[in-house]
Structure formats: structure tokens, C-alpha cells
A and B are shown apart, each in its own frame.
Chain A
Amino acid sequence: MAPLLDVQNLSTSIKLTSSTVHAVDNVSLRVGKGETLGIVGESGCGKSVTGLSIMGLLPPGGAVTGGSIKLNGRELVGLQKEEVRRIRGNQIAMIFQDPLTSLDPTKTIGYQVAEPVRLHRNVSRKAALDRAVEVLGLAGVPQPRERLDNYPHQLSGGLRQRVMIAMALACEPELLIADEPTTALDVTIQAQILALLRDLKERLGMAILLITHDMGVVAGHTDRVCVMYAGQVVETSGVVPLFRETRHPYTRALLASIPRFRQGRENALPAIPGLPPDLSRPPRGCRFAARCFRATEKCRAEEPPLTGPTSAHRYSCWHPLNEPRTLAVSGVDVSGTTGTDLVAPDARSPRTADGIRTSATEHKPETATANGDREGPLLDLRNLVKEYPVGSNAVLRRNAARVKAVSDVSFSMPAGTTFGLVGESGCGKTTIGKMIVALERPDSGSVTFGGVDVAKLRRAELRRERRDLQLVFQDSHSSLDPRMRIGSIIAEPLHAQHWGSRQARRERVFELLAEVGLPKNTVERYPHEFSGGQRQRIGLARALSLNPRLIVLDEPVSALDVSIRAQMLNLMTRLQASHGLTYLVVSHDLTVVRHLADRIGVMYLGKLVEIGSGSDIYERPAHPYTAGLIAAIPLPSPAAEHAKKEPAITGELPSPVHPPSGCRFRTRCRFAQERCAVEEPEPRSFGPGHLAACHFPLRTATPPETTADFAG
């Protein structure tokens, strides 16, 4: 049977002012009817451009330069614009990454969903709106008819993505191209949307081309996979063989650089050294050779063909990995043994430093939690409350609705440890980070840092205290002044604190650059000349400049690709060991927090619901929210993913202006009973240093040794 979509030797290039980027080079792929093909790779590997080429939606300057794209045997390349237009939104539909910007803010939901129906089906306005109601319902939008007159800004991110999906489904396409459909969403919402897509595919017999960077998403939601690197497909096979019999070193490196739950921090993450090649001047030979530990002369000279023993599993590598990997059913331990041999020698140099870090912190979590009060904690938060007024009454401050960003949060951190704060967006974790570095003042409660209440400091005192409190931001792009040279950026805190002479500051900047692994000539350059990972290193160097005692890392690696992320995580671990730093890591990414943190606090809607060591949280969660959050993470293992049934947490985050009474999680909790609405649960102990606030926990509470208090 002929495949639904047959792409052969597709090449696409994008003309820029000074160069031409060969974004897609000789890519062939097939999608059968009702099948899901995953395209996975890091940013800039050409996966999105492949999708856009199929849609005929290339950006200005972009053009298909060779190959063919056949839909149901019909050639799409070279088709008249008008003809392609009739196929778009009709036979092939596409959903994009960011649901917040993908809907026209000035048109109603009903109009936007009905638009393709009216266009392609030539039906009346009313019939189109009826169809809109139908597909909105299909996409899981509650009360679809009432939603028709809503505007996009009135809906949450998850609902907007459902609207996007409804829009794509409106004309019953045979192929749906989903370009990172869940990347911008919280992990609980991601699980819901992915389940929805799978369900729709089965019900409507539609094929899906799922473009993603997330190996976990691939494992659970695709039938076959193409791994792309630098514009080419480097490995393609069914999803199970790809994970079980990985052949291409890049695929394996990609899998290995994902932090695992049970992987302790004893080992550095196997990062892929270096950066992907510049596609305006693609290298000769194998494009991965420069970052590959198996690369030989042949790899650098000759391009390997995409072949394999069977047509089902093909890979382009001269030296494929041929020992089958042992498959861990849970997908959790897979990389434990393979990690070491894939790293190129130059990436191993940090190893020694990591060794030091390990010995320094190996026993720390346990001792810290058991009798952490020996010296008193470095940072102690007590009953922190922060609310923001919203709406037009904000000026008058009377009767104004208030967003309850942080409601009564207490915890403490011993020096030299890492505390991880996780939760969905809007749970208040970033606000806590800001209050710790005194960028925000709490409405009530105290932030005690080294015995001083930061929230009560006066201006001049605070200025001095700032030396010890630093912050690294999520968005390295907007947190570095684009018109300042890197040298000035890193030296700015030194300047501000009148640190040393001009010469001393200069020396210090070089020292810092060396520490974060950037060359000396970096000082003369501007932020835009660097990649995301390098900019994040610069941000880290700036935070380190004054030798702080505590660094708050707000989503430090969320914007980075998997391989770069691993490099950054290793660097952070190494620096912590060599400087005796204390970290507070704020992240929505549970795997990242698991990798970095000694103790983890789980937040929900302004409240801390559970606190404990990494293994407490991930292996013995007591709060249903924690358990649901962990279950929602896509694991890079097809078996583990397929074993999952329904999304663990349903529904969306309630409004923080009017949080639910009693336990705030009760509206989304499976175990919620009447008592949860009436009585707010007190934190109870579930083991040394492990506390959770739930009336119906998943484990039995142990009698508390002391009074249960998150700050304990």
C-alpha cells in the first residue's frame, strides 16, 4: 500500500542576506495512513523546516531545492500556489508550538475555528459554527458552544492548545503536522494534550507527524521515529527498536544526556561536547563527526549513507553501535552504564572536579536532613506571604482582587546544599526566588539569610548583602544587555560593589570565564554572538563574580537543548563543589531538579505541598500532586510510556485570585473528599525530613519526631 505521505530526497534551503542555510538536506520519510511518525532532534536540525516544507509554508527566502513530497501519490513540490492552498488546512493541517501567540487576539474562538471550514467546505456560517462546536468538543474544550464568543486571552494555555487542535481538525485532515505541540505547556497539561492527540488519531484514523525535541514524547506517542541532525536523518526505525537497538552515536548520546530519576549525582551527565555545525557551510563527511567519540578519518571525509540490515531500521554511520542495549523496563536506568563511553575525551576533563564535588556532598543530604540544625541553616524562610493586586482597582488598593502568589511558605536550606523548588507555572516558585534575593519584599514572613532578615534590611545594608545573593535567569537572551560587551557584563557586579582596582577586575573576569569554560577573547564580544548555552554560562559567570554564598537559579536550563543542557548541568554541579555554593533551583522540569537538588519542595498554587530528599519525592511521594506530576513526565522508554494509562492529573490550575478552600489541590485530586474542602491539611511527617500536607496521603504517615513543619 502506498504511504499517505512520501517524502523523497527533500532538500530545502533558506536564503539569508549574507548566506544560504541548507536547513534540510536529502531527507526521505514516509508516513502511512493512521500512523504517527516522530521527527526528533535539537533546535536547528531541520525538523521544523521539514514540516513547513510539506505544508508549503517556508519563511521568506526559503525554498524546496530538490526532491519530492507526495501526498496520496500526488506530487506537492512545484504545485501551483492555489492548489497547495486547497490542501493546506484541508488534507494536511498543522499545529504550532506556542498556543499563546498562535491565535489571533482580535477574533473570537468560534470565528477562528470555523474559518477553515467555511473556506474549504463552502458551507453556511451556521453550519461552520456547528462544526466548530463539534470539533471543540472533540478536542476536549468544555462547554464548546459557550466558548464560541470568547477571545483567546480569556482562555488558559492548555485550552488554547485545544482550540488550536480543534482548528486543525475542523476539515478532517488526513495528516496532522504537530510542531512541538506541548513544549510551551506545563507537564500535567502536556500529558493531557498528548493523550488527546493519541486518542484523536485512533478515533479519526488520522496520521500524525510529531515534531519534538523530547525523547520522552517520542517514546510514548509515536509508531516510528526519524532522528535528525544538522539537516539530515541520521537514524530511522520503529520506536521500540530505536530505544532498544540504538545504532547511531548521536541518538544514543541524545538519550544519555537526559537526566534520569534514579541516576544519582555521583556521575556527571554524559553531555555531547561542542555545538551542532553551521548549516550555511555544512561540513564534509559525517556531520556528527566533530562531536562523536567514534569518529575516524573516514567519518570526516566521506558521508555515510542511510542504510541498515532491514529497510525498517536504517542509520547513517560508518561505525554504528552494534551491541544491543539492555532495556530497562521502566526506562529509568537505561543510561547508567552507557554514559561513560560516549563522551569525547575533551568533555571528560570536568570529571576530576566532579569527583571532588561528589565526595563533598555524598552524605550531605542525609546529614543535613537528619540533624541539619548543627550550625543553623544558611537560608531560612518563615511563613512567607506575597500577594499582588490585580485589575483596575489596583490603584485605589481597596477591594482589589489579589493574586495569592505565595501563601505561607516555610523551608530552610543548610549551606552547601541545593534546594529544588518545582511546580507548574503560576505556583509561586519564581516569586519565592525573587524574595530570597530581595527583588521582591514579602507581605509578611521572613527571609533569614546567614542570620539576617533580608526583607527588613535597609537600602545600604541590602546593597552589601547582595554580594552574597545572586540570581541566574531563565532567558539568557533578555538578561544580558545587548549593547554591552561580555567583559563589562561580567564586571558589572564588581563595579557596582566597588570591588578591587581596574586591573584586578580584569583579572577576575578572565578567571571567571575560565571557570565557566569560555575563551579569553569572549570579553570583547557581544551577547548576540553566542549560543543559548554560552550565554547561560556568561550569566553564571556574572552571578559568580562576587563570590556569593547563595545563587538562585530560575529555570537555568529550560531554554537549552538536551545536549547543551547536560553540559550546563555538569558545569553547575562542578562550580558548586569548587566554591561551596548553595543553590536554590527553581524549575518546572522535575528531571532537572532531581539531578541537581539534595532536597526538593513541591509547590502548588502558592503552597508547599511536599518536601523531602530527591528519593523521597521521586520514589516515595506522599502527596497525590507530587505523584501525578512525576507520572506526567514523559520517560524516554516506549515500554514505560505505553504502560501509562490516563493522564495522572486532569483539569487546569485554578485561579490564584480565588484559590480553592481547604486543600488547594482538591479540585484536581482523585482522592479528594469533603474534608479536603473544609480543612486545610497540616504538614505531616513521612520519614526523616520528608513532609507532606495531605489528608489522604499515598503513604502512611510516621509519627513525627518533632513538630511537623516544612521549615523543620
Chain B
Amino acid sequence: MSVLVVIGVSIFVFALLHVIYPSPARDVLGLRAPQMAVDAWNKAHGYDDPAAVQYLRYVKDLLHGNLGYSYIENQSVLALFEGRMARSAYMSGISLALAVLIAIPLGVFQAVKRNSIGDLVVTSTAFTLYSMPVFFLGLLLIQVFALSLPVFSFQASQSTSLLTVIADWHAMTLPIATMTLISVAAFSRYMRSSSMDVLAQDYIRVARAKGLPERLVLLRHLVRNASLPIVTLVGLSLPQLLTGNLITEQLFNYPGLGLLFFDSLKKADYPVLLAYTQAAAILVVAGNLIADIALSIADPRIRLR
């Protein structure tokens, strides 16, 4: 099923590109190059083959790890992606992990203390954050924590070494905080409602009837059951993190995939855009797959099937 989706998306993306950008010849030879030279270049590089042949070649390259060639940057797309991919993955990954680690206890807390002052405060904060665009939150954080109170840097780490980036908390705190806060807002809402559902279940009452202290009731019997919907949500939000990256990276000038995409968009560097879109599609499918696998591990009822 997921394979079909990936193939479908690749056909769609390729067709789109083929229509608006049939050949990179003009990029290579310059706008003033004579039509004859362009035709010759196209013939030499296979850009005059039928669309189907070109598509198959594209797929074959893709399977060999060849994502295409950016004539504007004069680099293979893969080379462009390599370092940036790791940096983007680091930022998304750490934000997602933090978001889950914060949202789960927060949601449980809200459910246990529902309608208390604490719950109200968290709920309203979450709603505010949830309705806020990413760039606005980022700007807000920059204004407060980089300009008014110069605690952190307003620009993300510019280093090309991943280790340097990880060590540079001064520069990385704000972009990571931006992405984390947005995710926490959504996850904690779900966690709160699923925890409330689980709290009403008979097995929670049974756990209490066994004489378990409340802390253990929550830890042993609530958290895992209430987290099941979150697992799906996290899987589905994987591609969203990519777009989150797009804005956050641009805002903090962080040299990741998002910024690359943004720059390529301005330069009309189609091979890069194509590869990025394809990657996003694969990520959607992969996210779903990961969520399904994770769910089958977390929930024994699914394992059997």
C-alpha cells in the first residue's frame, strides 16, 4: 500500500516538473544559447526521450541514490542534501523528542487535575500556542530572549559540523524551543483527552482496588494506554516537522534542508525542489509505517493481527 503511494507521488511530481521544466539546458547553456545548441544538449543528455523513458530513468537513478543534479549550484542534489539532512534531522528529532517528553506528563497532569487552575493555565497556554503561526512564535522568542533579554542568539548555529551545532546551545535553544512549543501544544491536548478517557476505564478502578498508590496507577496503567493515540499522532506529524523546519530554518537562518528548499525556490532550482518534494512524500509514508509498527509494539491487541 505504502509502496503504491510512493510510486504515485513520484509519477505526479515527475509529471509536474516535466511540464514546467522540461530540460535544464537553458540553465547550463545560458539564456542566449541558440536553439540548435539546446536541442543538441537535450539529445546528448536524453532530454528528448519520451516522458515515460525519462521517468523510468529518473526512478532508476532514484533507486541508485542519485537524486538529480542542480545545474544552478553545479552540484549533485545528493551532495547538497547530505550535510543539511543531518542538521535538519537533528533539529526536528530533538524537538519532537522534547515535545513528546513534555506533552505526555503534561497531558496526564491536566487529566488528573482536570478543571483545576493548573489545568486551566496549561490549556489556555496550549491554545494560544496552537493558534500561533510558527514564524510569529519564533519572532516573539527572538524579540524576548535574544533582543530584549540577550540570553540566546537570534541566529542558529552556522557551523557545518553537526557536533559543533549540537554543542552550541546558545544558538540552538530558540529554534528548537520554537518547534517544540508548537508540537507540545498539540500533543498535550490529545494526551489530556486520551488520559481522561483512560482514567474513566474500569481497569484504572481495578488498579486502585488492588491498593496501588496513585503514582503507580498512573505510571503502570494509564501512561501506556493513554499514549497509544499519541503514537499515531507523532507518526503523522513527521512530515509536518519538515515544513516546520522550512519556516524555522529560514527564520533562524539555519543551514538545513528547509533553508535549502527556500533558497532553491527563489532560484527556481527545480531538481532540488523535486527531490525535496519526493522526500516529503516518502516521509509521509514512512511516518505512517513507523506509527503502525510502533503501535503494534505498544498495543498487544494489534500485535495479534
Cβ contacts A81-121/B at 8 Å (1 or 0 each)? 01001111110011010100111111100000001100110
The CA-CA distance from A565 to B228 in the complex, in Å, is 40
Min CB distance A91 to B, Å, is: 9
Min CB distance B284 to A, Å, is: 22
For B212, the closest partner residue in chain A by CB is: A119
In the complex the two chains form, is B210's CB within 8 Å of A116's CB?
A: yes
In the complex the two chains form, is B211's CB within 8 Å of A98's CB?
A: no
Q: Which of B61-69, B118-126, B218-226 contacts A (4 or more CB under 8 A)?
A: B218-226
In the complex the two chains form, is B305's CB within 8 Å of A102's CB?
A: no
26 contacts between A and B (CB under 8 A): A55-B209, A57-B208, A85-B212, A85-B213, A88-B208, A89-B210, A89-B211, A89-B212, A93-B209, A94-B209, A96-B205, A101-B201, A102-B203, A102-B205, A102-B206, A104-B225, A105-B203, A105-B225, A105-B299, A105-B300, A107-B221, A115-B207, A116-B210, A119-B212, A164-B206, A167-B210
Q: Which residues of chain A come closer than 8 Å to B202, judged between CB atoms? A: 96, 98, 101-102
Q: Which residues of chain B come closer than 8 Å to A119, judged between CB atoms? A: 210-212
For chain B, the bracket of interface size reads 20 to 34
Q: Which residues of chain B come closer than 8 Å to A392, judged between CB atoms? A: 305
In the complex the two chains form, is B205's CB within 8 Å of A57's CB?
A: yes
Q: Which residues of chain B come closer than 8 Å to A107, judged between CB atoms? A: 220-221
Q: Is A293 an interface residue (CB 8 A)?
A: no
In the complex the two chains form, is A106's CB within 8 Å of B208's CB?
A: no
Give me the 5 closest cross-chain CB pairs, A-B, nearest first.
A89-B211, A89-B210, A88-B211, A151-B300, A101-B202
The CA-CA distance from A183 to B220 in the complex, in Å, is 28
Q: Which residues of chain B come closer than 8 Å to A103, judged between CB atoms? A: 203, 206
In the complex the two chains form, is A85's CB within 8 Å of B206's CB?
A: no
For chain A, the bracket of interface size reads 20 to 34
Q: Which residues of chain A come closer than 8 Å to B212, judged between CB atoms? A: 85, 89, 115, 119
Pick the residue among B206, B220, B299, B300 that contacts A167 (CB under 8 A): B206
Q: Is A391 an interface residue (CB 8 A)?
A: yes
* Contact residues of B between 188 and 215, Cβ < 8 Å to A: 201-203, 205-213
* Contact residues of A between 409 and 454, Cβ < 8 Å to B: none
Residue positions of A touching B, CB distance < 8 A: 55, 57, 82, 85-90, 93-94, 96, 98, 101-107, 115-116, 119-120, 151, 153-154, 164, 167, 391-392
Q: Is B298 an interface residue (CB 8 A)?
A: yes
Q: Is B301 an interface residue (CB 8 A)?
A: yes
Interface SS of A by simple majority: mixed
In the complex the two chains form, is A391's CB within 8 Å of B206's CB?
A: no
For B223, the closest partner residue in chain A by CB is: A106
Interface SS of B by simple majority: helix
In the complex the two chains form, is A153's CB within 8 Å of B203's CB?
A: no
In the complex the two chains form, is B300's CB within 8 Å of A115's CB?
A: no
The CA-CA distance from A48 to B282 in the complex, in Å, is 54
The CA-CA distance from A103 to B206 in the complex, in Å, is 8
In the complex the two chains form, is A104's CB within 8 Å of B221's CB?
A: yes
In the complex the two chains form, is B224's CB within 8 Å of A106's CB?
A: yes
For B227, the closest partner residue in chain A by CB is: A106
The CA-CA distance from A86 to B211 in the complex, in Å, is 6
In the complex the two chains form, is A151's CB within 8 Å of B301's CB?
A: yes
Min CB distance A675 to B, Å, is: 36
Q: Is B36 an interface residue (CB 8 A)?
A: no
Min CB distance B30 to A, Å, is: 55
Q: Which residues of chain A come closer than 8 Å to B207, judged between CB atoms? A: 104, 115
Q: Which residues of chain B come closer than 8 Å to A391, judged between CB atoms? A: 305
Q: Which residues of chain B come closer than 8 Å to A90, judged between CB atoms? A: 211
Q: Which residues of chain B come closer than 8 Å to A87, judged between CB atoms? A: 211
In the complex the two chains form, is A116's CB within 8 Å of B211's CB?
A: yes
In the complex the two chains form, is B209's CB within 8 Å of A57's CB?
A: yes
Given the interface contacts A154-B304, A164-B206, does A106 sit within 8 Å of B298 by beta carbon? yes
In the complex the two chains form, is A104's CB within 8 Å of B211's CB?
A: no
Given the interface contacts A107-B221, A151-B301, A153-B301, does A101 sit within 8 Å of B203 by beta carbon? yes
Q: Which residues of chain B come closer than 8 Å to A55, judged between CB atoms? A: 209
The CA-CA distance from A153 to B301 in the complex, in Å, is 6
Min CB distance B272 to A, Å, is: 39
Q: Which residues of chain A come closer than 8 Å to B205, judged between CB atoms? A: 57, 96, 102
Most buried by A among B211, B212, B300: B211
Q: Which residues of chain B come closer than 8 Å to A164, judged between CB atoms? A: 206
Min CB distance A103 to B, Å, is: 6
Pick the residue among B206, B300, B305 that contacts A96 (CB under 8 A): B206
Min CB distance A179 to B, Å, is: 10
The CA-CA distance from A106 to B231 in the complex, in Å, is 14
Q: Which residues of chain B come closer than 8 Å to A116, judged between CB atoms? A: 210-211
In the complex the two chains form, is A120's CB within 8 Å of B211's CB?
A: yes
Given contacts A86-B211, A90-B211, A102-B206, 5 further A-B contacts (CB under 8 A): A96-B202, A96-B205, A103-B203, A103-B206, A116-B211
Q: Which residues of chain A come closer than 8 Å to B224, judged between CB atoms? A: 106
Min CB distance B108 to A, Å, is: 15
Given the interface contacts A96-B206, A151-B300, does A106 sit within 8 Å of B211 by beta carbon? no
Q: Which residues of chain B come closer than 8 Å to A120, judged between CB atoms? A: 211
Q: Which residues of chain A come closer than 8 Å to B221, judged between CB atoms? A: 104, 107
In the complex the two chains form, is A106's CB within 8 Å of B300's CB?
A: yes
